Amino acid sequence: MKTDIFSTAITNRKKIKFLYSFNPIELEPYYLSINKGGSKVIYGRVNSSSQVKMFEFNKIFNIKVLNNSKFSPIIPILPIYN
């Protein structure tokens, strides 16, 4: 269920909001993966931040897709932007 919600949000470039260990997070989701421990994770840019962070699925609750806000992924191509 979480995978479907996140996949749709990534495809449609929609921001998501959720609770992560009881902390509210607003995220621009970039991609889904599995970490070294075998747990599903999602990578994305947290709102008002420039770094991409990883979030484990088992700590994510109350997922909401924010339909009114789209985003464009920030992909550092030139070294001056890193």
pLDDT in tens, the chain (82 residues): 889 999 999 999 999 999 999 999 999 999 999 999 999 999 999 987 888 899 999 999 999 999 887 777 665 555 554 4
Please tell me the predicted confidence (pLDDT) of residue 77.
52
CA angle 3, 64, 4 (to 5 degrees): 15
Instruction: Write down the pLDDT at residue 49.
Output: 81
Report the SS3 class of residue 41. strand
Place of tokens 């001056």: 80
User: What pLDDT shows up at residue 67?
Assistant: 85
Total-model pTM: 0.81
Please report whether residue 80 resides in a domain: no
Q: Does residue 78 sit within a domain? A: no
Does residue 60 belong to any structural domain of this protein? yes
Q: How many residues does the chain have?
A: 82
Q: What is the pLDDT of residue 72?
A: 72
Question: For residue 21, what are the domain limits?
Answer: 2-66
Is residue 15 a part of any domain in this protein?
yes
Output the pLDDT for position 74.
63
